[in-house]
Structure 1
């Protein structure tokens, strides 16, 4: 029984030891002040001290500064590394455990030194270095611009328990897995304290896994990530071989240049004015010109305004109302596809190819433009104006709270300017969820209200889209042609007669006759003249006839009143004129003049004038 208890205790001790070995818990961080233009010696461990754990075979040393470059190197070593986030590896039994930190700047610099101890079976970060300056380079490199971050690292190698020489890189890479993690700092907090806190957190494997965001699994030495201005982020890579893991030295970027941190996040971003014209102009300007951002904004606004006016002029000239829905559909399709690519779907390998990316983006915009008008053009107008308009309203607030929704469009602009495959790594936090919900609610509210108003709100509306000028102009022309066919006289001749008045020619006698003076009409509406004279029973109102009638049936009869020629008459030129005969005793006109059949093929009631 006692032997059983002893064995259990031994097993528990061994398990705890291996847990410590596997997780590399022996780590520490120190903040040092390096005087200007001096070199400071830092002792990571004492190689002569017997208290150094025997299972520790190598130690990674990370050196970080907030704004200034520092140089890190080993004693008696000609090679060094300079930067804000650098590091090296010390092998116990080989290296002395001392490192030199040189400050080449004219000011004192605070430096954060983070050490992490590992067992022999842990992957050695950067152990297969071919491009970096050190033989073992455990640090990362980050090349940043306004649009992208290019993250580079060197492959890790696997050590051995029998000797300190690591296994050849060709044999070890198949057993090592690389995972890239990111951790976003607090928005707007560019202090050194926050900077060091985030680096310390991203230097420990357990903290990286728990609090960092896993961005991707990779085997490539270079990865492109979208840059987010004013959103400081810490990148790190964990190399895993079986159950053993090692973390590289993390690197930080503010995506606006660390030399101007105090101005970070205050750069004004282009706000959508005229969406389509401005967006296209902006893409062309940043792609093919060397103008600064202020000039691009000015030219973008001017070009967008001009294109909007040109588009309106084309629509007015061509008299094709459906053309107005082309830009509406393209805007909606583009925004929906950009939103889809903003999710993890955009990180698929399919979209890392430029041809696939732009082909799918274009097809989505075109399909929306073609599909919606065939179903219901009203729905396209309502849905597009609601979704796009709500998005513009939301990003106006999103930009100033350091949200992520504005990058739905900005990521596409970056991809257009730089034809590189990049991964979306922006965090989706609580405030982003709130803004997304607000966007959704605004869109749904706009759709419901507009659809209700366009169908049942107010008076009934005609087909959409419509051109009031074209509709009334063509309708008047058709009525005039109808009455010219029904009249016994041809249109008035512009040539004056000998008496100075207008003349007309009868369709029957083909003779030219003077046009009677309207003032000679009697109160009954008939011409007061001698019998036998040919009388034009059309009043002047027939040249601009009207009819009234409302029905939702297929065919309805509308009453036409051609006899109210007196301006003082209450029915002159108004749709409220009573049907004939009225109280004045007028005789109803011939049937040919009295009724017009109107066909309603819209399936709903319309009021016609």
Structure 2
């Protein structure tokens, strides 16, 4: 037993050594003055339809990095180069100096360069990190043929001549996304033969601010096929420009936006954009920002539970609470419309007016004693919640309800119908109303603390009443479940062809699974003598570096595409195997690492390694 324990400790110490080494070389660090070549060797425009070639890099503080896209095929007419940073702004320019109208600044950037029809030509782009800290950058180059629409080629508003990117702005209620018209070959003045543009929109997991999810979402929106698979098309409305879309802001829930330009059979994709409708670096992205509003939210939790379980039993308390809730809601809307008060003052005044209305409604019951009149407020409030839920679920996104008259007529009608259907049965109507309203009041604080979006059922109704431009916004809520990992999954590769490198990769994966099962440590109940304990295994296999025409399998700059190999090695041999790589070059190696821990086994999958443009496959 002592020997076995010693071997196990040795194995895990060796594993830790390997992990520390991999962590040290897990990304390419780009410093000031570095030049990174991104050859498009083998890039077939006719097959790939603008599929992105790129990778993630770490740019050092106060650095200017040059990206040289070379080996351009003569069939390439223009290149869209894009750079995405997480949370922090960077600049992308055509030159090393920032010249007016020749650079863009932000987090989702893109520039277009027209290419010469000469094989082997190259174009250069410069990334400026003016921050005093490292910034993770995802860069990609997309090549297009002659007859493909040029994204943003008919730009009239943005700072550069050709603007293939989207401009995203937001406030506390609305997210606005603007794009520029695509240009068509032969239409120099953008007057005729305009390309058709479709706008798409998708969400990632709520409260997920990780860079991994951010970059995965952007990568899934870089080709027409992936966009149509992962995102929802948002139609144009008659109230705003067809190049603009407005959305209800769900603070803390990331959303990714894309535009696809089509002209006949030719398709191009704009640089996707991403926003959290807040700034995670400066605030918590919570709707409730003041201590008073958070305390009030906690009080509502207990009030809702009390009303849900015992509201009908304590009828006078119910009358006061219903008057308080309804009066406070109406007061908040009226104050927001007619008075310019800051949010804390508005909430305080609304709460005082609500308490006053609760006392009045309690006196109405005490002096009148009419069951119908007393239950009317409960059913009307229930009708409000029911109708707000229907609009939140999709009714509000129909064009005919963008008119204020149509919206409020339909909203009031549905609310009254619910109330009239329940009024004939006073006692049952009151019990149902207390249960539903109390349950929703209980859910709202829970929703706030776990970062969900059910609170926007009522928040969106308040916005519609108080924000003038909210009628132009799409509600399009992020319906998500706990089991979901992301609303925008990473793009899946195409089905591997027999005899192809994808098929070799799939076979290697099956082989790895077989090794894992064969070396599984014995578990309680296993009687087979073939089950034996062994040292953890390390699986080293290069990532398939991308094959032209296979969407969703990005390539790596400067990496050739040899056949995929797989090797299953004892952990003790890994240090000796990796040691020579440390002495190859002073430049950092690039190892994309995926660690998966399963019962009985530990695997490390090393996808690729690059040093001085030489690729080592282990």
Shorter-chain-normalised TM-score: which range?
Answer: 0.5 to 0.7
DSSP 3-state at the match of 1:158 = coil
Aligned 8 A contact 1:70 1:104 in 2: yes
Larger relative contact order (CA 8 Å, sep ≥ 6):
2
Q: Give the corresponding residue for 1:40.
A: 65
Q: 1:294 to 1:347 in 2, by over 3 A?
A: same
The equivalent of 1:544 in structure 2 is none
Map 1:452-531 → 2, pairs under 5 A: none
Q: Say which of 61, 74, 89 aligns to 2:112.
A: 89
- The alpha-carbon distance between structure 1 residues 416 and 266, as it changes in their structure 2 partners (threshold 3 A), is closer
- d(CA) in 2 for partners of 1:142 and 1:330? 39
What does residue 193 of structure 1 align with? 212
Alignment of 1:243-392 (within 5 A): 243-260=265-282, 267=289, 271=297, 274-373=324-423, 375-392=424-441
Query: What are structure 1's unaligned runs of at least 5 residues?
Result: 1-16, 160-164, 434-609
Q: 1:23 to 1:379 in 2, by over 3 A?
A: farther
Q: Would the alpha carbon gap of residues 72 and 398 (structure 1) be closer, same or farther in structure 2, given more than 3 Å must change?
A: same
Contact 1:182–1:215 under 8 Å retained in 2: yes
Residue of structure 1 equivalent to 2:133? 107
- SS for the counterpart of 1:54 is coil
Task: Provide the rounded CA distance (Å) in 1 between the counterparts of 2:205 and 2:421.
Answer: 44
Instruction: Please give the alpha-carbon distance, in whole angstroms, between the structure 1 residues aligned to 2:242 and 2:325.
Output: 38
**CA offset digits 1:347-392 (Å, max 9, x no partner):** 110111222222221232234334543x433443243333333333
Give 1:226 deviation, angstroms: 0.4
Residues 168 and 177 of structure 2 are in contact (CA less than 8 Å); yes or no, is this contact kept in structure 1?
yes
- Preserved CA contact (<8 Å) 2:209 2:280: no
What does the per-residue CA deviation read over 1:557-596, in whole Å, with 9 as the maximum and x for residues that have no partner?
A: xxxxxxxxxxxxxxxxxxxxxxxxxxxxxxxxxxxxxxxx
1:114 deviates by: 2.2
Offset of residue 246 of structure 1: 1.6
Which of 209, 219, 226 is 2:248 aligned to? 226
2:448 counterpart SS class: helix
Which of 75, 81, 92 lines up with 1:72 in the alignment?
92
Aligned-partner Cα distance in 2 for 1:379–1:38:
69
- Cα deviation per residue 1:59-79 (whole Å; 9 max; x = unaligned)? 112222222222222138641
CA contact (8 A) 1:188 1:265 kept: no
Q: What is the distance in 1 between the residues matched to 2:441 and 2:44?
A: 52
Alpha-carbon contact 2:94-2:124 (below 8 Å) kept: yes
Corresponding residue to 2:55 among 30, 47, 50: 30
3-state DSSP of counterpart to 2:150: strand
TM-score in terms of structure 1 length = 0.60
Paired residue for 2:193? 172
Structure 2 unaligned segments of length 5 or more: list them: 1-41, 304-323, 485-618
TM superposition shift of 1:24:
1.8
Name the structure 1 match of 2:258.
Answer: 236
Q: Retained in 2: the 8 A contact 1:129–1:137?
A: yes
Q: 1: CA distance between counterparts of 2:88 and 2:115?
A: 30
Deviation at 1:22, TM superposition (A): 6.3
Write out per-residue CA displacement over residues 433-492 of structure 1, whole angstroms, 9 at most, x where no aligned residue: 9xxxxxxxxxxxxxxxxxxxxxxxxxxxxxxxxxxxxxxxxxxxxxxxxxxxxxxxxxxx
Work out whether residues 66 and 124 of structure 2, in 8 Å CA contact, stay in contact via their aligned partners in 1. yes
Q: Assess if the C-alpha contact under 8 Å between 1:23 and 1:205 holds in 2.
A: no
Specify the alignment match of 1:443 in structure 2.
none
- Change in 2 beyond 3 A, CA 1:186/1:319: closer
Per-residue deviation, 1:147? 1.0
- Deviations along 1:12-68, one digit per CA (max 9) or x if unpaired, are xxxxx999636525422233444433432221x23xxxx422322111122222222
Q: Tell me the number of residue pairs that the alignment of Structure 1 and Structure 2 aligns.
A: 404
Q: 2:77 aligns with which of 34, 57, 67?
A: 57
Residue 72 of structure 2 contacts residue 122 of structure 2 at CA under 8 Å; is this kept in 1?
no
